Amino acid sequence: MSRYTKKDILELVEEEDVEFIRLQFTDLFGGMKNLAITANHLRKALDNRVTFDGSSIKGFVDVEESDLYLYPDYNTLAMFPWRPQQGRVARLICDVYRPDGSCYEGDPRYILKKIVSEAEGMGYTFQVGPECEFFLYHLDDDGLPTNITHEQAGYFDMSPLDFGENARRDIVLSLEEMGFEVEASHHENAPAQHEIDFRYDDALTTADNIMTFKLAVKTIAKRHGLHATFMPKPRNGEDGSGMHINMSLEKNGKNAFYDPNDSLRLSREAYWFLGGLLKHVKGMTLILNPIVNSYKRLVPGYEAPAYIAWSAKNRTPLVRIPATKGEEVRIELRSPDPACNPYLALAVCLAAGLDGICNKIDPPKRQDMNMHQLSMEELKDMGIECLPRNLMDAVHEFEKDPLMREVLGEEVCRKYVEAKLQEWEDYNAQISEWELDNYLLRY
């Protein structure tokens, strides 16, 4: 049920002196797009009569079928606190439709809504809490981003070691003005690395919030003369940024993952959901870790997972069961990074978990040792597999998993794979500094 009606929005825009409304949507690869209209044209937008050229959006329709429509979701109305308070700017997140009134099947928000609807048909609400990490770096003299920082702060450090504390505080205050319930914020392990955690919510709201979060972080950082990046691994030899996803299913108002009689307080549904995640994680990795740089993070020796295993005690495996009390029990998937499209990422996670429940897929034996201290021979003997090692490996695993095509659709899969193959080819054609350092003199 919508929190706002059309009348509510029109009245609120007038009362709050809103001059511009940004109609936002997300492309196939997680990029936020928007069309700005003035308040005089808001009624037209609320009547779903605003069109745009879909062929100009990467991964959307071809030029022969370019017209698409934006249908605002009334629940997503929010003011931008960083814009002027006179002649304010608001936003509405939109769904994308075809001219005949049907949902555009390549809209990432639609893809998530579709699998959420399937879960609701089974009686479940998918609850998600993300842990979004990012870096704050200096700009150069031309205002362009660098990966340079002069701080040496580490985990939970504070000012004066933490140079980004003021920027992080302003980001939190801006998010709260937009309706976020921020639970915690802190400096992370690597220099200039930060994390802000906001309260869990249903999957669609959480995906919307992740997109809004990224926009707010980048906007406020720039006001502090900094560049915020969600690039997974911007500096060699340091931890990269992840976006751990904490998941649970709610049924009849209660956490369906909770069983007080189990040693880990996990229900049978939770174990099956976990089994589905582990079964499909190789195929999902292309969505969860979507760029060449993602795989520089997924290597042994850092905070990120490299092996397909789960644990209730340590943070090195792919999946962790956090220590919680009562019905707060959840499953934490640690491989996703913030470069992913959150709508697609949550869609494949939910689909994999539901497949586990429907087919009663039990997870393998849990592994509580430090995975990074095991040799490849030991891992092989234990039957523990690795995540895809690079983008091309992830493409191959994605194409082998029929569930990915079921969730995303044939056309989206084709366009996504084509784009990622081209990205891999472009990357392989480049000469890196590592090659120059190691080969130029020797050969």
Active site residues: 53, 131, 133, 188, 195, 244, 315, 332, 334
Are the C-beta atoms of residues 154 and 99 closer than 8 Å to each other? no
Please tell me the distance from the alpha carbon of residue 225 to that of residue 59, in angstroms, as a whole number.
33
Question: How much is the CA Rg of the chain, to the nearest whole Å?
Answer: 22
Are the C-beta atoms of residues 6 and 77 closer than 8 Å to each other? no
List helix spans (H) across 122-178.
165-177
Interhelix angle for 391-400 vs 268-288, to 10°? 130
Please tell me the distance from the alpha carbon of residue 342 to that of residue 348, in angstroms, as a whole number.
10
Are the C-beta atoms of residues 55 and 61 closer than 8 Å to each other? yes
The candidate with the shortest Cα–Cα distance to 304, out of 247, 231, 233, 407, is 233
Are the C-beta atoms of residues 251 and 309 closer than 8 Å to each other? no
Question: Would you state the structure tokens that stand for residue 438, as one six-digit string?
Answer: 């190691």
Question: What are the backbone dihedrals phi and psi of residue 57, each rounded to the nearest 5 degrees, phi first?
Answer: -100, 120
Please tell me the distance from the alpha carbon of residue 265 to that of residue 364, in angstroms, as a whole number.
17
In single-letter form, the type of residue at position 295 comes to: Y
